[in-house]
Structure 1
Amino acid sequence: QECRIAHPIVKCTYCRSEFQQESKTNTICKKCAQNVKQFGTPKPCQYCNIIAAFIGTKCQRCTNSEKKYGPPQTCEQCKQQCAFDRKEEGRRKVDGKLLCWLCTLSYKRVLQKTKEQRKSLGSSHSNSSSSSLAEKDQHHSKHHHHHHHHHRHSSSHHKISNLSPEQDQGLWKQSHKSSAAIQNETPKKKPKLESKPSNGDSGGTDNFVLISQLKEEVMSLKRLLQQRDQTILEKDKKLTELKADFQYQESNLRTKMNSMEKAHKETVEQLQAKNRELLKQVAALSKGKKFDKSGSILTSP
């Protein structure tokens, strides 16, 4: 018992398997410690979300189960796709349910606690029946003692009748004090007997089983939250990628529009310059024709 107190059995922070803790600072098992030294900090498994994926995206337990039993299926307890169908042999141990590894452990733990609770209830019931028999025997012995005391009191009463009145009064006072003391003591003893429950069980085992069930539900809810957080992170990653792609395409379109606008302005300016030159040429040609016509008119007579 001292060894268990000094080195309790705890769950590994990474693979969630039970191991005997050698020191309070040691929170991971020896196998995970070796893997951390060799491969570094693990990542959450893509199936069971347990932080034990040292190589790749899956933990060693899910990798081996996938090779042996095929792809994972939905667990009936935590609703995650991390349960492997072990056929009839595996389902027989969990009453025909398809459960993942963590839910199977919690289910077996609850079954073990209910069995222990039934055993404790049976032993407490036998203890209560034996205590009731002992109380009956004690009550019978008290009744016999009271009858014997009454017989002694009647015999002593004949002796007291021969005493003087002063001695008789002193004896009456002494007997009155002793009876008052007995009456004051008896109510103090009653609550001790009444404080014991009728069935001999304090109800602690029921609370212990309920607390363990609530802890398992909290663990399953935490796993669901981790899975949802992982999906949210993946969606955020996709969203950031889409935003970056959109910004890249938008910047490309803006540069293309600016280059097209610049080229358009240059072509317009070139055309306007050509137009001005052509207008100048047209004006010069029109002036030359007028000059030729006026010269021919003057020289004709």
Structure 2
Amino acid sequence: MSTAAATPLFACSRCFSRHPFEELSPGEQLCKECRGSFPVVKCTYCRSEFQQTSKSNTSSICKKCEANVKAYGKPTACEYCNIIAAFIGNKCQRCANSERKYGAAVTCEQCKQRCAFDRHDDSKKVDGKLLCWLCTQSLKRALARTKQHISAVDKHKHRAHKSKGGHKEKRKSDMLKLNASDSSHGDQPLEKKSKLNPLQGKSFYLLLGELDPNSSDHVVAMTQLKETIASLQKKVQQKDNELLAKDKLITELKAQHLNNTTDLRNEMKNKDRLNETKFNMMNSKIQNLLKEVATLSKSAKKNNKNTKVALANTENSGSGTDSPSTN
């Protein structure tokens, strides 16, 4: 059997050409020609992976989010998944579409947040668990790393087997010993058997998950912490903005109160001045009227006196003409 036939080949997820597993990129499973010389990065907002296409443009924002930022401004945290990707409303486009398609969100079995959507299809579940999009992606990357590690171990064993082709008898004796050891520990629990031979069963996956600092749990925890920090920072910023708005309102109310007080004082002063002016005018009018009354009284007295004198003179003149005729 040739070397090419002995080495398993895997398909590129973009062009579907077949290559050895170690030549494909982790996560995206892209060949060298598809991924080129540019790295695959995560979008700062929607957290989806995309490949940079230019050395001059090293932005960590995908084209879709970049267009949304230009159209709607910077996004806010999604009320379901807490990803900073809610450009319109309080939900990111991914959660809004899933809610419209599958109904209300449910609790994710990994991160325990209410950000998963039940598709009512067991084939869509990862390892039989109902997970949110972030946990699904993290678990898939962890499984890909585990498979890559297992492939490397198998390749190493294959090379060791070829290098020790002349020692078949010794290898047979070792295998007999290994089988005897397995049979002697057959009554022991599965956990102990996995410690004796960690390459058996699914315990190897669990062991790799515990030893790998980039395992699904760690990645999910780090992602959730980052999103929580971003959400808390946003809330702090909102509270600061609210406090600034309240301080501004208080300042405006104080200024309005001061203006109202000043206007009232000026109005009272104007009214006092007007009342004083009216009071002086009335006093002056009263004085003039009193003078008129006095003048009229004096004229009336003088007229009465002249009338009396005239009457007296008339009487005197009448009595003087009658007396000779009487004699």
Q: Which category describes the TM-score, using the shorter chain as reference length?
A: 0.5 to 0.7
Are the counterparts in 2 of residues 75 and 83 from structure 1 also a CA contact under 8 Å?
Answer: yes
Please say which of residues 253-262 and 111-120 is displaced more in the overlay. 111-120
Letter in 1 for 2:262: N
Q: Percent identity among equivalent residues?
A: 32
DSSP 3-state at the match of 1:210: coil
Letter in 2 for 1:236: D
Q: Which runs of 5+ in 2 are unaligned?
A: 1-21, 26-31, 175-195, 200-206, 309-327
Residue deviations 1:223-254 (CA, integer Å, cap 9, x gap): 01111222222333333333333433443333
Could you say which residue in structure 1 is the equivalent of 2:238? Answer: 234
Q: 2:106·2:118 contact (CA, 8 Å) conserved in 1?
A: yes
Local SS of the residue matching 1:11: strand
User: Which entry has the higher C-alpha Rg, 1 or 2?
Assistant: 2
Is the 8 Å Cα contact of residues 78 and 224 (structure 1) preserved in structure 2? no
Equivalent residues of 1:49, 1:223 under 8 A apart: yes
Kept in 1, the 8 Å contact 2:77–2:84? The answer is no
The CA deviation string for residues 34-79 of structure 1, in whole angstroms up to 9 with x for no partner, is 6646873873354245455567765432232122123445545556
The answer to whether the 8 Å contact 2:68/2:87 transfers is no
Q: Does 1:101 align with 2:133?
A: yes
* Residue type of the alignment partner of 1:12: K
The answer for unaligned runs of 5 or more in structure 1 is 139-197
RMSD: 5.2
Mapped partners of 1:79, 1:199: distance in 2: 33
**Aligned mate of 2:228, from 206, 211, 224:** 224
TM-superposed CA distance for 1:23, in Å, is: 6.0
Match of 1:44 among 75, 79, 86: 75
Q: Aligned-pair distance for 1:289?
A: 7.3
Corresponding residue of 1:65: 98
Q: Is the 8 A contact 2:109 2:129 kept in 1?
A: no
Match of 1:32 in 2: 62
By percentage of residues, which structure has more helix? 1
Q: Deviations over 1:114-170 (max 9, x none)?
A: 677789899999x9xx99x949989xxxxxxxxxxxxxxxxxxxxxxxxxxxxxxxx
Task: Quote the offset at 1:287 in angstroms.
Answer: 7.2
Partner residue, 1:195: none
Number of equivalences: 232
Counterpart position of 1:16: 47
- Find the counterpart in structure 2 of residue 272 from structure 1: 276
Secondary structure of the 1:40 match is: helix
1:89 aligned residue: 122
TM-score, length of structure 2 as denominator length:
0.49
Tell me how far apart the structure 2 counterparts of residues 45 and 75 of structure 1 sit (CA, whole Å): 21
What amino acid does structure 1 have at the position aligned with 2:93? Q
- Whether the aligned pair in 2 keeps the contact of 1:9 and 1:21 (CA below 8 Å) is yes
Shift of 1:218: 1.6
Map 1:77-226; keep pairs closer than 5 Å.
77-78=110-111, 81-87=114-120, 89=122, 92-93=125-126, 95-97=128-130, 99-110=131-142, 134=170, 205=208, 208-212=211-215, 213-226=217-230
Contact 1:94–1:107 (Cα < 8 Å) also in 2: no
Taking structure 1 as the reference length, what is the TM-score of the superposition? 0.53
SS in 2 for 1:43: coil
**Which whole-Å CA distance do the structure 1 matches of 2:126 and 2:43 have between them?**
26
